[in-house]
Chains A and B, each alone.
Chain A
């Protein structure tokens, strides 16, 4: 593993045991997060984003198993760690921000209590922990943090709560922050504020961020690298420039086409990708996207395309990678 990378996922396969049989939720997922960078993950719901995050932090559901692959964090394979060791990493070296700020904080504990509780590992006096929380709150832009420490989550607005969640996540100065659609539940102006705040904090603290969103505009604005997921696979990954200007997988292409922000003309109906999300219990023999792909050729339905690096730092899982152009 490259010492410049905070996180490296190689060939990760995760399966769920379900009533309908074995569900292959993640297949051969590769991901690299260089130190100090922000990596964005895009994809529709059900594409495996959440499963990937849960594998990283070791909180997969009970019926899920990792059948192969490795997740190296700071050079150590997280999949080989015990539950105890993982717990020591969570919240200290890897932190998370979740989607819905209305439900992700405990409603009957004051935010001060919750922020001090998560510092339970540090052998410092409570006053010091409190001071750290106050400082963190003011850094994320909570006015009058000292007195608001005693407030309960329901006394804050959604945007404020998400700032608190960020403060909690960054308080321990983690090497990696995983943000799972942190702005989806917020309105547009708040979203911009939060994104800028997050970027500033990342600059000053120097952590890496794995940023999950289906808002392409946010990804483009914030991220250095992007991976595109579809049906449990990483179909394309590369720099933010490459993905947005030279998309090489037909799915990425479609995804960008469907982004409402990029549509110049006013239309009544938003464009959609025809077809349905594949059934992960009954996978096709070939490419996962072949059914919905306009450019599919015979080979696509027979052989699963490998992930190929067809240009420097630009991978795609498509037999036609490099031939599909953005024009």
Chain B
């Protein structure tokens, strides 16, 4: 029994790549999916190469050139200190993506672990974890963020803590329900009867079944993280000035909105493009790979 399932898993690999490629093509065939992919690639490329593309040092102050409208020199104009907004938007994007990757990654790992513990552990531990998850979820995210900021003070780390703690229950719950569903499946019971170890069952059966949906959930969380980062930074509770962030650019611009609209427009557009891009892509991925997830909005 265990031998056949090992074989099945190993021989499936080329097929898995093939079906991955086929699914990608289906994502691309959807106009929204294609648009999302283009936007995401665009955002990632400009974030990765931000230092290369940025024409100015993002914190270089030039008071004489303050609050300028877009020109050939300053593609998106300048802010109240004469800093080049285009350069600041690029570096801000880099920071936003970094925050998303690190915090979602952490949340994934912790959520996965806790979910497995809840799924495999004793009943009381499962119940306790679920109550904890429910309590964290019942805390409105923004309230929670504000509470954390009060404690640790505004910083990038604070933003990441907020994201990690609020997202753990989402991943944890998913892993738990998958684990529970699989734990008593016949083929796993058979393996256990044959003496397969705990980690072997997790590695061979649980992980392959949860990784796909987890990654889709994670990709759909990126817009959420970007919103949180930009939002907290906008409130002055995230990234500290002078470090550029889309949120701080918007905040700076908002004070001068009656003088010039450019900083607000320039700070908002990357937020909109990024959240739309990741959302479109994530939705198409989900529809193609795992329509079951659709119900969970």
Do A's and B's CB atoms come within 8 Å in the complex?
Answer: no
